[in-house]
Each structure stands twice: as structure tokens, then as C-alpha cells.
């Protein structure tokens, strides 16, 4: 299906580009004292340091090669944002750097070229004169608010704003930014695992940006980003693995019937496990299955390692389950159900078997979930007579 002229494709990608580019920008500012980044605060992207504020507007164009000209909406919308921030005393125009980053090209005949990064001998007086002429026009409704905001600045503010503007045109596309991030992180990521490394870093970064946009977080300091990079790198060591499913899955009551025929669920019902604990078990099962599958696809683990891990869990189960079995002679069905319930809670809920897939991988859902996978294959169970009862 094709897109229409009113497609939201470009604006939507613009938001993703803004978030991805903000990660790249913060990494690029690693030489500053203690920078932090904010989104949709004073501007699209804001980088604050001890004595300086940098404002960035990002403009992404994907459907056509756009030019940034004297009357481009991108330029005047940006001028409006910056001018209104100055008028409202939200920023100090003297200590703020204003940067417009766009995938468009600056027109060679436009005064805007004077504001391009590294432009030789920019004529700022010519820029101011041209901007004042254009902002006096009354026929352009699209740019009207931008014109008015600029005219509302004092002459001194206008000069200082223009003097602190930098335009970076033909900038990185969303794909180019990804490539730039990989280059920036190539010495931080494990050898041969840059894609997996960046996938996890971006996942965390996008979540932090959502927290900022929901006003649950004020900013992301560079120190926090560096710590996360270090933490992710640590998970790729030989004695560790990345944890991609750390958050429990919320299993709704209405979803429980979908699992009725799973053997591990039937096993839990044999020992009268109730719905809350059952939902936790299903969450652990799904997370363990998804995590193991992801590691396997990424070649971080292999079938042999899973076989060894499962054998340890089976041996542990067999040793403690055999003790339980020996004490079940002559007991009633109700007593057997209670013993199985106690056995499961004691060894698989209150505590977990003392075995890990890797020494430093701490998440217990993998152990519990793998045990439920074994229970689903009838290799282990909780009720003293589970094999007989499952055959009925």
C-alpha cells in the first residue's frame, strides 16, 4: 500500500531521528565537564554544561531533497522557537549556541549560507538586514509567527542570536546516524557484537527519553550514559549474558485460558497453585523462553550450554524430589497436593535452585522459567505422582 500526501511517515521518523541523534550528540560532547541532555525542553535537543547551553533543532527530510532558502519554514520555525525562549528569559542569548541540523541543503543564493558551519567570513550584518526585510513581509502565513518573534527581539538580541547560530546542512540521515553511532562506539562494544551492543543501548536510551517526555526524568547526564555503556559491555563477558527481559510480563486474568493446555500449567494446577502465582509462573516461562531464543539467535549461547544447564537443574530437582517421594507412602490425595504445593513454594518460589546459566547472570526468572520449560516436557514436576496424573 502506498502512502498519501498526508502520510505521517516523515514526522514519525523525525521523532525517531531526534532521539537517535540526541544519543549521538551526547557522545560527541564527551570532552565537556559534565554535560546532560534534555528533549523537548527549550528546544528539540538541549545539551547543558556548567557554563553553557547548546540548543539543537533537528529537521529530517526523507521524501525529497529539500533546500533551505530565505523563506524556508524549517528556518523560520526554528527562529521562532529560539526568539521566544530569549524573550521569555528562558535562556541567556550570550552564552547559548543555537544549532539547526537539517538533512536539507542550504541554497547557494540564500543568506542562510552565511550561517553554515565553517562558512568563510560570514557577513552577519547582511544576514540581519535580510532577515529584517523578510520578517516585514505579511503574505507568508506559514512563517508569520516566526517573523513576529524575531521582530520582537531587541536589535542587540537579534545580533547576538545571529552571531551564535550554526547551521549544519546535508546532515546525517536516520541510517547515517546509526552508522555514526556504531563508529562512535566501536571501541566500547565487544569485538564483532556492535549491532547487538547498540540495539541494547538504544533500547535503554529510547526508554530514558520516554521518561523525559513524560516528565518522569529531567535529563540524561553523560555520566549515566557512560555507566550504561559499561554495564552493557559487562554483560557480553564470558561469564555473563545480556538481560533483555528483566521486567515481568503482566499476564491478564483473561489470558490464563490460553495456557490451560500447557503441561507446566497443568502441573501447577495439580498442586493447587492459585492465579497470582500462576501468572508469575507463566511470565517466567515466557521470559526465559524468549531470552534463551534471543541469545541463541545472536550466537551468544548454544544448545550444548542449555543442555548442561538443564541437566544441573534436573539433578538438583531429582535429589530433593526423591526425598519428598520417600515420605509419601499411604498419604491421601489432599495431603499429596499439599506436599507438592509446599515443595514448589519452598524450592522454586521462596528460593530458586542454586545454578546459573553464567556466573554473573543474576536474574532468577531464567532459572524459574527454565524449570517450567522442563516441567512442560515432563522432565521434572511438583506433585509426588505427577507422571501418573498427567497421563490420566
| CA–CA separation, 165 and 112 (whole Å) | 10
| CA–CA separation, 119 and 307 (whole Å) | 63
23 & 147 share domain: yes
Helix segments in 261-326, DSSP class H: 263-270, 275-297, 303-326
246 belongs to a structural domain: no
121 & 202 share domain: yes
240 belongs to a structural domain: no
Give the residue from 190, 205, 234 where a domain finishes: 234
216 & 95 share domain: yes
As for how many domains the chain has, the answer is 2
Supply the range of the domain harboring residue 214: 9-234
pTM of the shown model: 0.79
103 belongs to a structural domain: yes
Query: Which residue has 513524560 as its cell numbers?
Result: 214
Mean pLDDT by 10 residues, the chain (392 residues): 45 81 91 86 81 84 71 92 93 90 86 82 85 90 93 94 90 90 93 94 95 91 95 94 95 89 96 94 97 96 97 97 89 94 96 95 97 97 94 80
pLDDT at 379: 97
241 belongs to a structural domain: no
Residues 6+ apart with CB under 8 A from 110: 67, 68, 69, 70
79 & 224 share domain: yes
**Orientation of helix 124-135 relative to helix 144-151, angle to 10°:** 120
Query: Which residue has 520516554 as its cell numbers?
Result: 210
| CA–CA separation, 374 and 390 (whole Å) | 14
- Scored b (16 or more CB within 10 A) or e, 102-122 reads bbbebeeebbbbbbbeeeeeb
262 belongs to a structural domain: yes
54 & 180 share domain: yes
209 & 292 share domain: no
140 & 76 share domain: yes
| CA–CA separation, 382 and 386 (whole Å) | 7
pLDDT at 315: 97
Task: Report the run of H or E that residue 54 belongs to, with start and end.
Answer: strand 53-59
4 belongs to a structural domain: no
DSSP 3-state assignment of 341? helix
Query: Which residue has 554495564 as its cell numbers?
Result: 231
Among the listed residues 145, 13, 165, 134, the one whose alpha carbon sits nearest the alpha carbon of residue 80: 145
DSSP 3-state assignment of 171? coil
Give the residue from 200, 234, 268 where a domain finishes: 234
Among the listed residues 16, 37, 58, the one whose alpha carbon sits nearest the alpha carbon of residue 171: 58
202 belongs to a structural domain: yes
112 belongs to a structural domain: yes
44 & 157 share domain: yes
**How is residue 145 written as a grid cell?**
509567527
Amino acid at each position: 500500500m502506498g502512502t498519501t500526501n498526508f502520510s505521517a511517515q516523515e514526522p514519525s521518523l523525525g521523532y525517531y531521528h531526534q532521539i537517535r541523534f540526541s544519543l549521538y550528540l551526547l557522545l560527541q560532547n564527551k570532552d565537556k565537564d559534565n554535560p546532560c541532555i534534555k528533549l523537548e525542553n527549550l528546544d528539540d535537543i538541549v545539551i547543558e554544561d556548567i557554563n553553557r547551553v547548546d540548543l539543537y533543532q533537528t529537521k529530517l527530510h526523507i521524501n525529497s531533497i529539500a533546500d533551505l532558502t530565505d523563506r524556508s519554514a524549517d528556518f523560520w520555525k526554528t527562529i521562532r522557537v529560539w526568539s521566544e525562549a530569549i524573550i521569555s528569559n528562558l535562556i541567556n542569548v550570550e552564552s547559548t549556541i543555537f544549532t539547526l541540523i537539517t538533512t536539507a541543503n542550504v541554497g547557494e543564493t540564500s543568506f542562510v549560507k552565511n550561517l553554515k558551519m565553517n562558512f568563510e567570513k560570514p557577513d552577519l550584518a547582511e544576514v540581519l538586514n535580510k532577515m529584517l526585510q523578510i520578517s516585514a513581509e505579511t503574505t507568508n502565513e506559514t512563517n508569520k509567527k516566526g517573523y513576529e518573534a524575531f521582530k520582537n527581539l531587541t536589535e542587540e538580541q537579534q545580533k547576538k542570536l545571529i552571531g551564535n547560530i550554526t547551521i549544519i546542512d546535508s546532515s546525517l540521515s536516520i541510517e547515517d546516524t546509526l552508522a555514526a553511532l556504531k563508529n562512535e562506539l566501536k571501541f566500547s562494544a565487544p569485538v564483532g557484537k556492535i549491532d547487538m551492543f547498540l540495539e541494547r543501548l538504544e533500547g535503554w536510551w529510547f526508554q530514558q527519553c520516554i521518561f523525559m517526555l513524560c516528565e518522569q526524568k529531567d535529563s540524561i547526564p553523560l555520566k549515566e550514559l557512560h555507566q550504561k555503556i559499561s554495564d552493557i559491555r559487562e554483560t557480553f563477558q564470558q561469564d555473563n549474558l545480556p538481560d533483555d527481559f528483566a521486567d515481568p510480563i503482566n499476564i491478564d486474568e483473561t489470558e490464563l485460558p490460553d495456557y490451560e493446555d500447557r503441561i507446566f500449567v497443568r502441573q501447577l494446577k495439580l498442586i493447587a497453585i492459585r492465579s497470582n502465582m500462576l501468572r508469575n509462573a507463566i511470565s517466567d516461562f515466557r521470559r526465559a523462553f524468549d531470552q534463551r531464543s534471543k541469545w541463541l539467535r545472536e550466537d551468544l549461547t548454544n544448545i550444548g550450554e542449555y543442555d548442561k544447564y538443564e541437566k544441573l537443574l534436573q539433578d538438583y530437582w531429582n535429589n530433593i524430589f526423591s526425598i519428598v517421594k520417600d515420605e509419601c507412602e499411604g498419604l491421601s490425595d489432599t495431603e499429596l497436593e499439599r506436599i507438592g504445593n509446599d515443595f514448589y513454594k519452598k524450592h522454586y518460589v521462596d528460593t530458586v535452585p542454586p545454578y546459573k546459566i553464567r556466573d554473573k547472570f543474576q536474574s532468577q526468572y531464567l532459572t524459574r522459567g527454565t524449570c517450567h520449560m522442563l516441567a512442560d516436557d515432563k522432565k521434572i514436576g511438583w506433585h509426588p505422582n505427577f507422571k501418573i496424573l498427567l497421563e490420566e
